Structure 1
C-alpha cells in the first residue's frame, strides 16, 4: 500500500507527486490518459507571473451585449447549457463586483507569486529537456488603439507599484523592431517582463513526469471508477485493479466532480472550454514571442509545432461536441496582424478549464474526510500554478508550514464554512 494516490496526471497531479516524493512519501499517479495530455496540453504556454488579477465576469454593458449576441471572440456560450451553468455563473458575476474582486486579488497575488519560483525549481531538477523549452523574455499584450494601450499602461503601472510586476510600454516602432514579421494594425504593446513562456507545454509536463518517475513515483494508466475510504485508507478502482493508500489527492481538473459528487462534495464548479490550432508561416517570417490581442480575444504563440492560436472562453457543458466558432474568428483577426500560413492540425484541439465562481482554485484538505486533499479550479492559470499547488498540497499533507497562507483556497468557502 502506498502513502498517497493521486487522481489526475496533469501538471497539478504530477507536481504534487514530485513534492511528496521529495518528502519521502510513496506515490501512485492515476490517469486515463498519458500525463499532461488533457487541459495541461492545450494552453498558450505562459507561466503568468504577472497574472495577479484573475479573469472577472464582465460587468460592462457593451461586453455583455457582445457576448449575449454572440459577437465576441473572447467569450461565447452555448444556449442549451445555460440552465445548468446559470447558478455558478451568477455567483461568478457577484464575486466579480469591485469590492469582492479587490479581496480576490489580495488573496490570489501571493499564489501567483510562487509561480516562477516553483516552476524554476522543477525545471532545474528536470534538466536540459525542460530547460530547452523555456523563454524568459516575457510576452506582449498588444493593442490596436492608442487609447486602450494608454489605459492598460496605467493598470500595468498600478500592478508594478502594488505587486512589483515588471513591464515596459512598447510603441508600434519598438514592437515592430522586436517582431519584424508583424504586418501592422497595432498601436503598441505592454511587454510583461517577468513571465516565462514555454514552446511546448505538453512536453514540459512530460519532462516533469520523467522527474516524478526518477524519484520513484509509479504511474497507472486507467480510469478511476471510484474512490472510497475503507478502514482509514483510500481505495481507487482503476479498470478493475484496486489501488490503496493512506492519503488521496483529487487533481482531476474538470473531471473532479465525477469523484467529488460521490463523496458528497457538490461544488459550484463549471468549465470554460477553449480551442487551439497550429499554423505555418511564410518562408523567412517568424513570430519571436507570444502576443495576446485582447481587443479581439485570442493569443498567438510560437510553439515547437508552429504558431499556436488559442481562443478565449466558451461557456458550455464539459463533454458537449466541439463548436470551434471562436477559432475561426481569431484566425481571421490574427491574419490581419501576422502572415499565418496553412493550418497544420487535422482538427482543432479542445480542452476544458476547471473554474470556481470566485476565480480562485481549491487547494485544500476535504473537510469531511481524513486524508483527502483537493487541487482543482485553476481556470486560466492551471499551467502557471500547477507546481505551486503541488508544493502547497505536499506541505499541507506532511504537516509543514505552507509557503503561503492557503486558507483563502479552502474548500469550505463553497460549503457554508
Structure 2
C-alpha cells in the first residue's frame, strides 16, 4: 500500500495524473461515477491552447460590466438566484484582475501553458492518438480595423514574451482561408501553435486506455465516499472498497464538495457551457476553429460536425439546464456559416471549474497527509491535463518538479 494512489475524477486532468503516476511505478486506481472523459472533458472547443498565456481577467471597463449586467449577451448569461453564492469568488476574481496583481498571475499561468503541446504530444504518441491533434491552430475574427490592430498588439506581446506563434490576416486573406464564411470581416488573428482536437472525448479515452494498458485500474465509484482508512484513504466502488496511501481529488467543479469535508473549502465557482453539432450545407467546409469577436462563441470543425460551443452561464449547481445561450447563439452562427440542422436532439452541458486568481490548485491539501488536489483549470483542463498530471506525479513521488509548483499550492486558499 506504500506506493498506492486513488485518483478521483476521470476527466483529462484525472486521467493524465493517473497515467503519470502509473508510469512512475505507483499502484493507481482511477475512480469516477461515469466512464473516462464524460464530464467537462467531453464538451469543449477541443483546443490545446498554447497561445493562452494570458488568463482571461474579470472585465475592468464600466461599459463591459454594464453589457454583461444587462444579461442579454451571447457570451455571458447569469441566473439571478445564483448571484449571492457567486458574490465572494467573483469579487475576488475582480480584485485579482487588477493590473498590479494580474501580471504575477499571468506569469505563473504562462509557465503551465507553454508546456502543453510537448506534454500532450508525448502522451498521444504513446496512446497512438496523434491523429486527433490537428496542428491547424484557431482564429479570432474582428469586424473593425481598430479591433484588429489591438489584437495584433496583444499577439505581438504574446510572441515577444512567450514565443507564441501567430499571423494576421486581412479581410481578403481571411476570405481565402475560409471561403464558406458568410460574412465579411476586417481580418483575423490566426493563432498557429494550438492543436485542434477532432474528438476531445476520444483523446481522453485514448489516454485512459494507455493507463489501463500499463496496469492501471478504473473503477466506478462515488468520490463522496472518500474517507480516512488508517494513515491512508478509502473510497467505495462497484468493485468494493479501494484503499491507498494517497488520494488525488481531480473532480473539476465538484472538487470543493469533497475537500470541504476535510477542512479545505477553496472559493471555486463554475461556468456552465453548452455545445451542439451541426452539419454543413452542400460542399461547404470550415477549415479552422474560430471565434467571431462580435458573437462571443466558438465554431469548431470536429468528427461529429461543426461544434458550436457557448460562452459562460453562471447558475446554481443544482439549477436545471437552460437553452438560453444556445437559443441566442444558433441564429448568429447560421449568419456566419451555412449550417444544416443540429446532429443531436439537445445540447450537451458541462461545468468549467474556476478559481478567483485564475490559477489551478495543484498540490497537497492543507492539513491532510496524503491528500492532493488537481482542479480549478477553468477553460484549460483539456490543455493542461498532461502538464498537471506530470507536475503532480513528480510532487507526490518526491521528485524535483519540472516547473515551479508554488504558484498553484492549495494553501493560498486555506
> Is the pair's TM-score, using the shorter chain for normalization, greater than 0.5?
yes
CA contact (8 A) 2:37 2:201 kept: yes
CA contact (8 A) 2:175 2:184 kept: no
CA contact (8 A) 2:221 2:236 kept: no
Cα offset, 1:240, TM superposition: 8.4
RMSD between superposed Cα atoms in Å: 1.2
2:156 matched to 1:132? no
Cα offset, 1:239, TM superposition: 5.2
Q: In structure 2, what is the Cα distance between the partners aligned to 1:334 and 1:150? A: 25
After superposing on structure 2, the runs of 4+ consecutive aligned residues of structure 1 that deviate more than 3 Å are none
Within 5 A, what are the aligned runs for 1:161-176?
A: 161-176=160-175
- Secondary structure of the 1:141 match is strand
Q: How many residue pairs align between the two structures? A: 413
2:369 matched to 1:370? yes
Answer with 230-239 or 309-318: which moved more.
Answer: 230-239
Q: In structure 2, what is the Cα distance between the partners aligned to 1:319 and 1:378? A: 21
Answer with 291-300 or 46-55: which moved more.
Answer: 291-300
Q: For residue 200 of structure 2, what is the aligned residue in structure 1?
A: 201
Deviations 1:290-348 (A, max 9, x none): 01123321000001010000011111122311123112222222222211111111101
Q: In structure 1, what is the Cα distance between the partners aligned to 2:227 and 2:36? A: 23
- Secondary structure of the 1:272 match is strand
CA contact (8 A) 2:143 2:293 kept: no
Deviations 1:134-156 (A, max 9, x none): 21021111112221111101110
CA contact (8 A) 1:17 1:29 kept: yes
Deviations 1:212-271 (A, max 9, x none): 111100000122332122321111123583110011100011111221111111111110
Answer with 28-37 or 337-346: which moved more.
Answer: 337-346
Q: For residue 119 of structure 1, what is the aligned residue in structure 2?
A: 120
Q: For residue 36 of structure 1, what is the aligned residue in structure 2?
A: 37
CA contact (8 A) 1:224 1:238 kept: no
Within 5 A, what are the aligned runs for 1:137-152?
A: 137-152=136-151
Q: For residue 182 of structure 1, what is the aligned residue in structure 2?
A: 181
Q: In structure 2, what is the Cα distance between the partners aligned to 1:55 and 1:37? A: 25
Which ranges in structure 2 are unaligned for 5 or more consecutive residues?
none
Within 5 A, what are the aligned runs for 1:37-76?
A: 37-76=38-77
Q: For residue 110 of structure 1, what is the aligned residue in structure 2?
A: 111
Within 5 A, what are the aligned runs for 1:232-243?
A: 232-238=231-237, 241-243=240-242
CA contact (8 A) 1:223 1:239 kept: no
- Secondary structure of the 1:132 match is helix
Which ranges in structure 1 are unaligned for 5 or more consecutive residues?
none
Q: In structure 2, what is the Cα distance between the partners aligned to 1:364 and 1:90? A: 25
Cα offset, 1:5, TM superposition: 0.5
Cα offset, 1:100, TM superposition: 1.1
Cα offset, 1:197, TM superposition: 0.7
